[in-house]
A and B are shown apart, each in its own frame.
Chain A
Amino acid sequence: MRSRILATLLAAVLGATAAGCGGDDSGGQDTAPLGAGTKVSITVGCMPAKSQEAQRKEWEEDVAAFQRLHPNITVVGKDAFPCIDPNTFQAKLAGGQMEDVFYVYFTDVRGIIANGQAADITPYIGSVKQFPNLDPAVERVFKDGDKVYGLPRQNYAMGLFYNRKLFSRAGLNPDAPPKTWAEVREAAKKISALGDGITGYAELSAKNQGGWHFTTSLYSQGGDMVDGSGRKSAFNSPQGRAVLQNLKDMRWTDDSMGTKQLLIDADIQRMMASGKLGMYLGAPDNATALVDQFKGKYEDYGMAPIPGSAGTLMGGDGWLFNPKASPDKIKAGLLWLEYYGITPGQGQLNYARAAKYGRPVGLPQPKLFGQNAVGQKDRQLRAASANLPVGNFKPYEDAYGSVPGKLEPPQAQQLYAVLDSVVSAVLTRRDANIDQLLADAQKKADAALARAN
């Protein structure tokens, strides 16, 4: 009897599991524009949380205005802070809770597309008038071959984020930040010489973030993470060695990187906001995080292009479409994203309104359109409403476009995990053998790439 009950229970559980494993395909490819009489309701991720009062108000105004333009479309925003949590992303997909238009970081886009977890929107993208105006480098993030899967929200190129106040105190010119890694090293020495627990330069080395920053530094030296085929790693190179040697010298010879390592982004931001850090690699929106979350002051921070400037990592975020979304939902979603995300003067790019609501305007981010006319218009609108000390970001802004932007490597998280170990070794072990570390990492990375292909 007991075994029969157990068998029934097991069958029920297996049945439920099998049902969970199944799935239905999205509908056919009806590429005609969304009819005015077709009622569609879409859920959209990354609605600003209630705690972000001004942004939330702007979002609600935008939804109302959009729905007046398209009375047949209902936009249901889903708020979360932060907008994406890797711990719940797959669970939301598995549980059918993922929004029709969901938010992603650039880092994850390739993986999600490769896993078949995003809808192909190529048949509908022609209806998005602003799409051809997007910076091709940004557009590429959401493409796999000729197929398009999403649209960007924010983008940036990594650069050198620095503390202007500490630069002044150390006798450095805050308007002439370091341009090369050798200059960074010299500046870091002077800043850390201020004492009082001040660190000249800090680097991430835990939770895969060390690998992410290694990639940025490698690009800045002209190196690459993978070869042209994308199947073999390429970081065990003179450029890779130069990145690590520079870190090793700063950490152990100059003692300008502090004693505490295994840092993650929040640690570094806390150090910067408390005035204890001179420089780190980051994006312009770090200033907002420092002010909003760590009570920093905009006027204390500056931004320069990445030292070396042979290349830099492009980052950002955007939206993909649920693979189960119907063609009508995709069309409605694209109409919304075009209205809210990528039309200068509207939605998130309505800088005049943001300034009116007391939000910071003037950071050189996003730069969705590159150097074309639309991009120029976007920059003009932003400059007209700027309420931040934009001069602090001028070195970065001036160099933008002249530093080649590179995308993240395939199997980014696996490679970052491998390189975390290398960066942490260099920063925590005085006798770290760079050649050996890179050779070991190469084996691991090649194995990870081989497993994926």
Chain B
Amino acid sequence: MTTARTLVRPAGRARRLSPRTRRTVRRNVTAYGFLCGALICFAFFSWYPIVREVLLSFQKTNFVGDTRWVGLDNFRTVIDDPVFVDAWVNTAVFTLLALAVGYVVPFAIAIVLNELKHARGYLRFVVYLPVMLPPAVAVLLFKWFYDPGPGLFNQILKLGHLPTLNWLDSSDTALISLVLVSTWMNLGSGTLIYLAALQTIPGELYEAAELDGAGMFRRIRYVTIPQTRLILLVMLLLQIIATMQVFIEPYLLTGGGPEDATVTVAYLMYQYAFNFTNFGGGGALGLMLMLVLMLFSAVYLRVSREEAR
């Protein structure tokens, strides 16, 4: 009997979802909708270009039908390029200098801002102001600052009766000049993040340290740094990832010169792809840079997971 009833049960009824499932679907449909939007955007604007770039690095293509797989030829081409090593060295030096300057300075400013009793809002605004400038504008502003003749920096040096510098026009100072621009442009964001982290440190810790006779530097050493250790680490990794991709500064200020002193990996990638119309070479460089950055990203993910815990 039961069997017969089961056999004649209308098909529509068999497909009807249980109330629990329906509730779950109703609850999640909006979320899935948003997720789909995000997935489509990522697929088109991030994942597809990444996959395409990886494929390109193993191909020779003219984009109009003539595409050949060339194995590792593109990698050989870029590695054989004498500028290849310069580009990696410049990128590494830029990253190290950017960390030495761009990592310490915002943290120091954040500490000072945190200690201030007056004009905190105003100073925070002033520090954040450069972030609001479009990067190209900020970079071009520095082009004038660095002008060896009437440029602002040399005028200041002259006022102080100090020797002037050639800034971008010397292979000795060009890279550090780019680091200064980059630091200035990104100072505001870093400072605000550090400031937010500093404000989560309980005041009692400082009070206790003061009672124990700790001065400013000891308070920073034994309270501030341990309490912000994770955010410092996360910022360090993010900064490495961001600075290794440096492009706009050499592109707008030096064109990779003088004497290739500011050719970075990203700039060389641009040269290959857009000036030499060798997208395979550009892709190969991109893949190499991506692998290096993935390493740092993996560490970053691990650290941020630790922080979440």
Contact = CB atoms under 8 A, between A and B. Distances in A.
Contact of A424 (B51, B149, B257): B257
B43 A9 contact: yes
B127 interface: no
B276 interface: yes
Interface stretch (B8-16, B117-125, B130-138, B166-174): B166-174
A90 interface: yes
Interface string B51-63: 1100100010111
Given A111-B277, A206-B257, A13 B170 contact: no
A112 B277 CA distance: 9
Contact of A425 (B48, B259, B271): B259
A117 B63 CA distance: 8
Given A13-B47, A428-B166, A262 B254 contact: yes
Interface string B73-86: 00001001111000
A443 B279 contact: no
A20 B52 contact: yes
Contacts of B275: 86, 208, 413, 417
A262 B61 CA distance: 33
Contacts of A112: 277
A431 B53 CA distance: 42
Contacts of B286: none
Contacts of B64: 23, 93, 116-117, 322-324
A334 B169 CA distance: 47
Contacts of A13: 43, 47-48, 51
Interface residues of B, number: 43
A309 interface: no
B101 interface: no
Contacts of B81: 444, 447-448
B169 A262 contact: yes
A197 B277 contact: no
A208 B251 CA distance: 12
Interface stretch (A153-161, A223-231, A253-261, A292-300): A253-261
Contacts of A323: 64-65
A51 interface: no
A250 to B, nearest CB: 15
A197 B258 contact: no
A205 B82 contact: no
A205 B261 CA distance: 13
A177 B94 CA distance: 46
Given A20-B52, A115-B277, A451-B80, A429 B258 contact: yes
B129 to A, nearest CB: 27
B256 interface: yes
Contacts of B67: 21-23
Contact of B61 (A21, A25, A210, A429): A21
A143 B21 CA distance: 69
A448 B82 CA distance: 10
Given A197-B150, A413-B275, A429 B43 contact: no
A247 to B, nearest CB: 13
Contacts of A429: 170-171, 258-259
A262 B168 contact: yes
A411 B277 CA distance: 10
A207 B171 CA distance: 16
A444 B170 CA distance: 22
B65 A262 contact: no
B164 to A, nearest CB: 9
Nearest to B255: A206
B32 to A, nearest CB: 13
Contacts of A24: 65
Given A259-B149, A428-B169, A420 B51 contact: no
A262 B258 contact: yes
Contacts of B258: 205, 261-262, 421, 424-425, 427-429
Contacts of B51: 10, 13-14, 17
Which one of A23, A322, A411 has the greatest number of beta carbons of chain B within 10 Å?
A23
Contact of B274 (A16, A21, A86): A86
B48 A206 contact: no
A257 to B, nearest CB: 11
A259 B164 CA distance: 11
Interface in B67-110: 67, 77, 80-83
A93 B63 contact: yes
B307 interface: no
B119 to A, nearest CB: 38
A322 B52 CA distance: 23
A289 interface: no
Interface in A131-182: none
Closest 3 CB pairs of A and B: A23-B65, A206-B255, A207-B255
8 contacts: A21-B61, A23-B64, A115-B277, A197-B150, A210-B257, A262-B168, A262-B257, A417-B83
Interface of B: 43, 47-48, 51-52, 55, 59, 61-67, 77, 80-83, 147-150, 166, 168-171, 253-260, 271, 273-277, 279
